[in-house]
Chains A and B, each alone.
Chain A
Amino acid sequence: MRFLGAQDGKFVFRLAKPEQQLLMAMLKLYPCIPPAHHQLTKSGKPRGDDPNQRLLDEALFEQRQENKKLIQAFVNDSERIVETEKGFRMILSATDLEWLLQVLNDVRVGNWVLLGSPEDGAPGVDVNEKTAPHIWALEVSGHFQIRLLEALRAGQTT
């Protein structure tokens, strides 16, 4: 995935066909972070006993439902992902880019959690049939995140 530039408030990327397929595969994995992962405090109060924790859980649940709908709309949007002769052109508004970063980070962090939250990240994990899909998702989602962050930085300096 290559950032081509920002035009009229839109971020334009070029993707090869395999990259587009990988991006779609990442989006289909969402959500990956287990609902019980997010804690309001570190005090260890039982989850069900804390009304504020329940409110946070509900808010995050609603957000996940909304993101699932947005992913469905995104993957079917022929104006944001346009097929070209050489692959695909992805055109994102600043809002789209922000949202995509959040979704991809859920996939990245979620797969790290599913690996057992290794302190050294993915490099410290033995690769086997069980861990390979999570390592793959963690690295691929991270690759796309880095490209989006580079585009954001380029947009800030121009």
Chain B
Amino acid sequence: MAETAEPQVIPDIEREEETRPKSGGEPGFLVIVWNDPVNFMDYVTHVFQVVFGWARKKAEFHMMQVHNQGKSVVARESMEKAEHYVHQLQKYSLHATMERDA
């Protein structure tokens, strides 16, 4: 990711609970965001806040995971919901895909 600012990163303690679906359907699909050198770090953080409604610190945690580890699982959802999120993230030109949860 292209760097714009160095955010403070905190452990994402609530990640497992918060990425579980709130509606029906089997949570059998992962939504993954992949690193690239072109999207600004601040932009990715902002998109996570908008698409998932996350607080800034949680959005920054996942952004840094993408930046440092090459990818971040941002949701575990039903197929329909996962497709929805991938579409939303791609609308913002992020590199997002969905994969079946092994």
Chain A residues in the interface with B (C-beta under 8 A): 33, 38-43, 52, 55-56, 59-60, 63, 98, 101-102, 105-106, 108-110, 112, 117-121, 138, 142, 145-146, 149, 152-153, 156
Contact = CB atoms under 8 A, between A and B. Distances in A.
A39 B91 CA distance: 12
Given A109-B93, A121-B2, A41 B43 contact: no
Nearest to A98: B50
A40 B31 CA distance: 10
A51 B92 CA distance: 22
A56 B93 contact: no
A145 B40 contact: yes
Interface in B52-99: 56, 83, 86-87, 90-93, 97-99
Q: Is the interface of B mostly helix, strand, loop or mixed?
A: mixed
A151 to B, nearest CB: 11
19 contacts: A38-B90, A40-B97, A40-B98, A41-B98, A41-B99, A56-B90, A60-B90, A98-B50, A101-B46, A102-B93, A105-B93, A108-B39, A112-B36, A121-B2, A142-B2, A145-B43, A146-B4, A149-B40, A149-B46
Contacts of A145: 40, 43
A115 to B, nearest CB: 9
B37 interface: yes
Contacts of B2: 121, 142
A27 B97 CA distance: 27
Given A41-B98, A102-B93, A56 B38 contact: no
B83 A56 contact: yes
A112 B50 CA distance: 24
A38 B33 CA distance: 12
Given A39-B97, A56-B83, A109 B91 contact: no
A52 B83 contact: yes
B46 A152 contact: yes
A147 to B, nearest CB: 11
8 closest A-B pairs by CB: A121-B37, A112-B38, A109-B93, A149-B42, A105-B93, A38-B90, A42-B97, A41-B97
A102 B91 contact: yes
A56 B86 CA distance: 9
